[in-house]
Amino acid sequence: MSNSSHKLGTKFIHAGTVPDPSTGAIMTPIYQTSTYVQEAPGVNKGFEYARSQNPTRKALEEALATIENGKHGLAFSSGVAATDAVIKLLSPGDEVIAANDMYGGTYRLFTKIFAKFGIKFIYVDTTDIKNIQAAVTPNTKLIWIETPTNPLMNITDISGVAKISKAAGAWLCVDNTFASPYLQNPLDLGADIVMHSSTKYLGGHSDVIQGALIMNDDALREQLFFIQKSCGAVPGPMDCFLVLRGIKTLHVRMKQHCENGYVVAHFLRNHPKVERVYWCGFEDHHNHDIAKTQMRGFGGMMSFTLKEDSIDAANKVLCATKLFALAESLGGVESLINHPSSMTHASIPREERIKNGLADGLIRLSVGIEDADDLVEDLKQAIN
Ligand SMILES: Cc1ncc(COP(=O)(O)O)c(C=O)c1O
């Protein structure tokens, strides 16, 4: 089992897993069971019914806590289910300050599901934390940020926002999906909750849908565990096994995502047909200085626009790549290309999208861990 003094690679490989006490199996078994036999009513081994507890999920939840330097982890059936659980901490009349640039499904959950239950969402440009401060009211209960954001790679100062949330008596939740715990640990910077779409870098192989929450506070863990078991959006044991296995290679994969991301971002920036590249590793990226202090690298996620600003021109590129597969999602070993305005962010009204800088022709890349030269060649033949 890993401990807090271990370096990242050791931590990712050993987090949450111990040899199985009954057989010595080095990998945590997939406990494919719905219930557990009790010795007498209320006398059990800590497991009663698998919606509440499962040993494979327990190992994963311990691993999640370890890799985010937190005390508690909770696994959910998707990233959106993890977000859903956080908002269920709130009551009608409570206010949430959220980023105006974030994953479209988060925006949809807030506006189309929770707003009708009387929770108020205020969207601001969180890259300038003064906008967050200005939006605080006595009803502010939660500040929700994503950094870097999907898809514009905007960076928000986590420790700056944590000071505001503490003074306001509100929770700060950071969606850390894009950075992964290899690049950034929001709890260390003062956040109360870290959220992940484990579907992405944690799983890493495009074979599972899952979400995670990590926190330090015992009472907050109890509230979120209560929501997890009461609402029931729990992942199955096989999926927990897959994410546990994914975490073991996170550092190796992320190193390569960062290296390839650097090469592809610079190739695009120097391409005569490319107008703008959004990647937080560029020194002239707005808030690059903040990214440098809160992240250990800049990853393989980026977006770009073409000089010919039309959906047709974007579509031509989106359909021409051979290695970059046209698909939603990100963070897997294989490279993906995506059109946010018609795919991942289609649930945001066009007017809102354009206002927040998400152009119709924006193309998003999840740079995988293939050989960078091949990825560059693929983009070269697609953008011609
Ligand atoms: C940044 C971010 N947060 C949350 C989610 C939702 O996660 P899931 O698809 O696992 O429900 C996604 C999915 O793309 C995402 O990119």
Mean pLDDT to the nearest integer, 151-160: 97
Q: Mean pLDDT in the chain?
A: 96
pLDDT at residue 314 greater than cutoff 90: yes
Query: What residue owns the CA closest to ligand 1's atom 9?
Result: 79
pLDDT at residue 306 greater than cutoff 80: yes
Whole-structure pTM value:
0.97
197: left (phi > 0), else alpha (psi -120 to 50), else beta?
A: beta
Task: Quickly tell me which residue has 């000071």 as its tokens.
Answer: 163
Ligand 1 atom at minimal distance to the Cα of residue 81? 11
Please choose from 113, 150, 239 the residue to mutate so as to test ligand 1's pocket, defined by most ligand atoms within 8 A of CB.
150
How high is the pLDDT of residue 376? 98
The DSSP line for 94-135 is: -EEEEESSS-HHHHHIIIIIIGGGT-EEEEE-TTSHHHHHHH
How high is the pLDDT of residue 1? 73
Task: Quickly tell me which residue has 């800590």 as its tokens.
Answer: 46
In this structure, the number of other CB atoms found within 10 A of the CB of residue 293 comes to: 11
- Find out whether the beta carbon of 109 lies less than 6 Å from any atom of ligand 1: no
Query: What residue owns the CA closest to ligand 1's atom 16?
Result: 103
* Ligand 1 geometric centre to CA of 129 (Å): 24
List, for residues 217-241, the tens digit of each pLDDT value.
Answer: 999 999 999 999 999 999 999 999 9
* Ligand 1 geometric centre to CA of 45 (Å): 34
Q: What is the CA radius of gyration of the chain?
A: 21
In this structure, the number of other CB atoms found within 10 A of the CB of residue 382 comes to: 18
- Spatial separation of the C-alpha atoms in residues 297 and 184, rounded to whole Å: 9
Please choose from 76, 154, 174, 177 the residue to mutate so as to test ligand 1's pocket, defined by most ligand atoms within 8 A of CB.
177
List, for residues 40-85, the tens digit of each pLDDT value.
Answer: 999 999 999 999 999 999 999 999 999 999 999 999 999 999 999 9
DSSP 8-state secondary structure symbol assigned to residue 310: S
List, for residues 100-131, the tens digit of each pLDDT value.
Answer: 999 999 999 999 999 999 999 999 999 999 99
* Ligand 1 geometric centre to CA of 271 (Å): 30
Which is higher by pLDDT, 358 or 366?
Answer: 366
DSSP 8-state secondary structure symbol assigned to residue 236: P
Whether 51 is a known active-site residue: answer yes
Structure confidence at residue 347 as a pLDDT band (50, 70, 90): confident
In angstroms, the Cα distances linking 57 to 63, 211, 357 are 10, 12, 39
* Ligand 1 geometric centre to CA of 56 (Å): 23
How high is the pLDDT of residue 2? 74
Structure confidence at residue 344 as a pLDDT band (50, 70, 90): confident
- Spatial separation of the C-alpha atoms in residues 118 and 13, rounded to whole Å: 43
Which candidate in 11, 31, 101, 103 is catalytic? 103
